[in-house]
Amino acid sequence: MKPCHGREAPIAQGSVPFRAFRNFNQPELRAIAGIRHRIGKSAPQLFPGDGLSRRLVRAIAAHGGLALKEVLEAFEFFDRVRRRLRRPQVADLCCGHGLVGLLFAVLEHRHVQEVLLLDHCKPKSADRIFAAALEVAPYIEGRVRWIEAELEQAAAELDTGCSVVAVHACGRQSDRCLELALQTGGPLALMPCCHRGCGYRGPAALRKALGVGLATEVDRTYRLEAHGYRVEWSHIPAEVTPLGRILVGLPSSPGKPL
């Protein structure tokens, strides 16, 4: 999961509620949800309680932390897709620090046997986040595999029926993640960001009327449905990111690749 530096029109989401951490529905907390400063000493006040998710965030803060925006982005995305992407193998592609994939390992461990974290370069923050996850959930030992590779090499690592997730895979990378899900025959959850170089193939009239971002997601939806997928759209709160549209693709025949 990487920050997007392209300019896109904000998504009109209305007042989407926080679900993973509902205390952020308080106006004073909604107002700071997009802050890019690392969570530090404020973690106990922002994430109180004994729940596993809250303990994980506090452990992340203790190990050097992530930006509040990055934490909320990962958890809110995960909360909206977790039940529909339960598979023995989950692949977090273009994963950055890997928190989304680790949430499947920590919070869906009864259903998920292996999590693949793949990106072309492993950032320094990845080891800190994994150490925090291992501290609160030692049972993930041996269930998480980091792969430093280009996205084109991911196909050889994915099992048939593997779930594919990608948060802010820029431009064409989101399309490649979609194609990998079609190849494996498993479910897909995308939260795209910029749409540069994505190769929009739909009608020019839609691109002109809707803008390239929304028109691209419509085009991706048609592509998934043409391959027998049922597609659902949702959003995470705009206070976290204005680029928070989620596309979930569910195959009609799970585990049957193209």
Amino acid 255: pLDDT: 60
Do 129 and 62 touch, CB atoms closer than 8 A? no
Domain membership of residue 133 (yes or no) is yes
For residue 64, tell me if it sits in a domain.
no
CA gap 218, 198 in Å, rounded: 13
DSSP line for 202-214: S-HHHHHHH-HHH
**How much is the pLDDT for 122?**
95
On whether residue 15 sits in a domain, the answer given is no
Q: Label residues 153-172 b or e (16+ Cβ within 10 Å = b).
A: ebeebbbebbbbbbbbbbbe
Taking phi first (over 0 means left), then psi (-120 to 50 degrees means alpha), and beta for anything else, what does residue 65 get?
A: left
The pLDDT value given to residue 197: 64
Which H or E element spans position 104? helix 99-107
Span 126-135, average pLDDT: 97
Tell me what the pLDDT averaged over the chain comes to: 91
Asked whether residue 243 is assigned to any structural domain, the reply reads yes
In total, how many domains does the chain have?
A: 1
**What pLDDT sits at residue 199?**
65
- pLDDT, position 85: 97
Is the pLDDT score of 7 beyond 70?
no
Residue 8: per-residue pLDDT:
41
- Residue 1 confidence (pLDDT) above 70: no
Q: Is the pLDDT of residue 23 over 50?
A: yes
pLDDT tens digits, 223-248: 999 999 999 999 999 999 999 999 99
Residue 38 DSSP label: B
Residue at 33 is within a domain:
no
Region 155-168: what's the mean pLDDT? 96
Structure tokens at 64: 């050097």
Direct distance between the N- and C-terminal alpha carbons of the chain, in angstroms, rounded to an integer: 27
| CA separation for the pair 214, 221 (Å, rounded) | 11
C-alpha span between 189 and 229 (Å, rounded): 12
- The verdict on residue 192 lying in a domain is yes
CA–CA dist 222, 13 (Å, integer): 22
Confidence of residue 14 (pLDDT cuts 50, 70, 90): low
* Region 84-100 average pLDDT: 97
- CATH number at 96 reads 3.40.50.150
Residues 105/7, Cβ–Cβ less than 8 Å: no
* Residue 54 maps to a domain: no
**65-84: average pLDDT:** 97
Inform me whether the pLDDT recorded for 143 exceeds 50: yes
Residues in the chain: 258
Q: Is the pLDDT of residue 125 over 80?
A: yes
Residue 12 lies in a domain: no
- What is residue 240's DSSP assignment? T
Average pLDDT over residues 110-114: 97
pLDDT > 90: percent of the chain? 80
Reply yes or no on whether the pLDDT at 132 is more than 50: yes
Residue type, 138: P
Taking Cα atoms as reference points, which of 158, 143, 4 lies closest to residue 73? 4
Question: How far is Cα 61 from Cα 207, in angstroms, rounded to an integer?
Answer: 42
Question: How many percent of the chain have pLDDT more than 70?
Answer: 90
Alpha-carbon 35 to chain mean position: 18
Query: What's the domain range around 166?
Result: 85-251
What pLDDT is attached to residue 208? 80
Amino acid letter, 223: R
3-state secondary structure at position 74: helix
| Residue 185 token pair | 């025959």
